[in-house]
Structure 1
Amino acid sequence: MMVVNDIVGLVTDQQLNEKVHDISHHGTVEKVILNTEDISRHRLKVKTNLGREIAIQLPRQTHLQNGAVLHLSDQHVVFVEVSTPEYLRLKPIDTATALELGYFAGNMHWQIKFDDDCIEILMQSGKAHYLERLAHFFDRNVVSIVS
């Protein structure tokens, strides 16, 4: 298992970008795909897209981000890619339902955002989990799924 204690830099840095490009032609480029929840952690065990296990153990002042290079050698690079967050977009039938839905989402500690007359819930697990928890809104036909 590879252990990472620091970040080499970002793939967007010109020098690192050139090295990563060269390695992509003659070596191995691996990426660790993290979700928005894991990106804030300092200690975690992950697998790269090629199946290599990595233990990330960063100091508190060091933060992961999209494009963070975890390992760099002449023939091998490992970097972080942050997955695009998925949202469940819901449209309440009226203001009272919107308030009830917002209150419910808050009690569930879900991260939400608002867009026009819709509530978007950040899905940190499978969509089925959220649909099951929201079933009482759907059963009453007071909330619809927009996308």
Structure 2
Amino acid sequence: MLLIERVLGSRLDPAISAKLHELEHQGLVDEVNLATADLARRRMRVTSRAGRDVAIQLSRAEHLFDGAVLHLDAEGAILVRVAEERWLRLTPRSIADAVALGYHAGNLHWRVRFEGEALLVGLEAPVDDYLERLGDLVTERRVIPAVVASAEAA
């Protein structure tokens, strides 16, 4: 049994994503599938896709999220995957804001979909990470964010 006592970071963190990329090519990245409701839990025992027994015991300061890296070493990695996908709907207020938003999303290699005039970003890290990367576009209300479930985003 593998005991997890802390989240190492997001699969999108540059230092972590490079290591994961190498491990993915070797078939050494495993996943733990969780329901959205399980993200609030601090203690649980789960079985990974590859059949590995994983015990999660996090402190109150730790939070699970889709794309959380639970284990990472030369032998492999274990990531959290959430059953119901969530999307961040970003609605630009002008054409100039839409261009800036598209530029950011493309440069950051975010997984996106389009819904009318809105850009939907598949959430693989905490929402605040995305909003922080957008900076002034969000703080100056040039882009209006809203989190939606996969059924709403379809």
> Shorter chain as normaliser: what TM range?
0.5 to 0.7
Q: Which residue of 1 aligns with 2:16?
A: 16
Q: Which residue of 2 aligns with 1:69?
A: 69
Q: Give % identity.
A: 37
Cα separation, 2, equivalents of 1:52 and 1:74: 17
Cα drift, residue 82 of structure 1 = 0.7
The amino acid of 1:41's aligned partner reads: R
Residues 112-139 of structure 1 show CA distances to partners (whole Å, capped at 9, x for unaligned) of xxxxxxxxxx9xxxxxxxxxxxxxxxxx
Cα separation, 1, equivalents of 2:80 and 2:27: 17
**Pair 1:36-2:33 in alignment:** no
Cα drift, residue 25 of structure 1 = 1.3
Contact 1:26 1:75 in 2 (8 A): no
Cα drift, residue 75 of structure 1 = 2.6
Residues 67-108 of structure 1 show CA distances to partners (whole Å, capped at 9, x for unaligned) of 1000000130001011116xxxxxxxxxxxxxxxxxxxxxxx
The 5 A counterparts of 1:110-125 are none
User: Which structure 2 segments of 5+ residues have no match?
Assistant: 86-148, 150-154
Q: Which residue of 1 aligns with 2:81?
A: 81
Cα drift, residue 27 of structure 1 = 4.8
Contact 1:3 1:54 in 2 (8 A): yes
Cα drift, residue 30 of structure 1 = 0.4
Q: RMSD of the TM alignment (CA)?
A: 1.5
The amino acid of 1:26's aligned partner reads: Q
Helix, strand or coil at the partner of 1:51: coil
Helix, strand or coil at the partner of 2:46: strand
Structure 1 stretches of 4+ moved >4 Å = none
Helix, strand or coil at the partner of 1:69: strand
Contact 1:42 1:56 in 2 (8 A): yes
Helix, strand or coil at the partner of 1:37: helix
Cα drift, residue 15 of structure 1 = 1.2
Question: What number of residue pairs does the alignment pair up?
Answer: 86
Q: Choose 1 or 2 for highest CA Rg.
A: 1
Q: Which residue of 2 aligns with 1:3?
A: 3
Q: Which residue of 1 aligns with 2:45?
A: 45
Cα drift, residue 56 of structure 1 = 0.0
Cα drift, residue 26 of structure 1 = 2.3
Task: Name which of structure 1's ranges 20-29 and 54-63 shifts more when overlaid on structure 2.
Answer: 20-29
Give TM-score scaled by structure 2 length: 0.53
User: Which structure 1 segments of 5+ residues have no match?
Assistant: 86-121, 123-147
Residues 31-88 of structure 1 show CA distances to partners (whole Å, capped at 9, x for unaligned) of 0010011111000000100110100000011100011000000130001011116xxx
Cα separation, 2, equivalents of 1:73 and 1:81: 19
